[in-house]
Structure 1
Amino acid sequence: MKETKPITEYTNEELISNEKKAKILTIMLMVAILLLFFSSFFLTIKKGFSALSVIPIALLPILIMNINNWNKLKKEKADRNL
């Protein structure tokens, strides 16, 4: 299994690239969770509660981890004055 190196060991190019990727993926995940939330809310009102209604809530920890990773990358980028 491939081991990842700490953020402090990234080169400047890797840091910038990873920060852009983390930003794009986190925003995409936020949009997807919002769409899932509103659609499950609408379906819950129309047809009642189902097991699929909890999927947006179940995805929130992944979103929180992505936001934390993105913030770490931004902080390291700011520390290096990039």
Structure 2
Amino acid sequence: MKNKFSEMTTDELIKNQKTLKTVNIIFIVVLAMLFFLNLIIVFLKGFSALNVIPIALLPILFLNLKNLKEMKKELDSRK
């Protein structure tokens, strides 16, 4: 299986890495707020099906972190 990051230029990788870092930071902040607000809602109104949304979004964060790690590895191999 060929790595999709090996087909990119170094400049594209750096640009995508910066973008993904920013997106991850924003996503982590939003996810933390969702968890906190969910705790408040659970204590005030009880559990509902919508309380599962932050947990359902966690795999997206893990995939983004994995891609970021792969980008860093590819950039390090080019130096």
Give the TM-score of the pair, scaled to structure 2: 0.91
Separation in 1, partners of 2:72, 2:21: 10
The counterpart of 1:9, out of the listed 7, 10, 16, is: 7
Separation in 2, partners of 1:7, 1:28: 23
Identity %: 45
| Deviation by residue 1:44-79 (Cα, 9 ceiling, x = unmatched) | 011100111111000001111011001101111111
Q: After TM superposition, which residue ranges in structure 1, 4 or more long, deviate above 6 angstroms?
A: none
Residue 7 of structure 1: how far off its partner (Å): 0.3
Q: Greater RCO between the two (CA within 8 Å, min separation 6)?
A: 2
Counterpart of 2:29 in structure 1 is: 31
Q: Does 1:70 align with 2:74?
A: no
Aligned residues: 77
**Code of the aligned partner of 2:19:** K
**Code of the aligned partner of 2:69:** N
Q: Compute the RMSD of aligned alpha carbons.
A: 1.2
Q: Compare the two structures and name the one with the higher helix fraction.
A: 2
Give the TM-score of the pair, scaled to structure 1: 0.88
Residue 21 of structure 1: how far off its partner (Å): 0.8
Which sections of structure 2, spanning at least 5 residues, go unmatched?
Answer: none
The secondary structure found in structure 1 opposite 2:47 is coil
Separation in 1, partners of 2:31, 2:47: 18
Which sections of structure 1, spanning at least 5 residues, go unmatched?
Answer: none
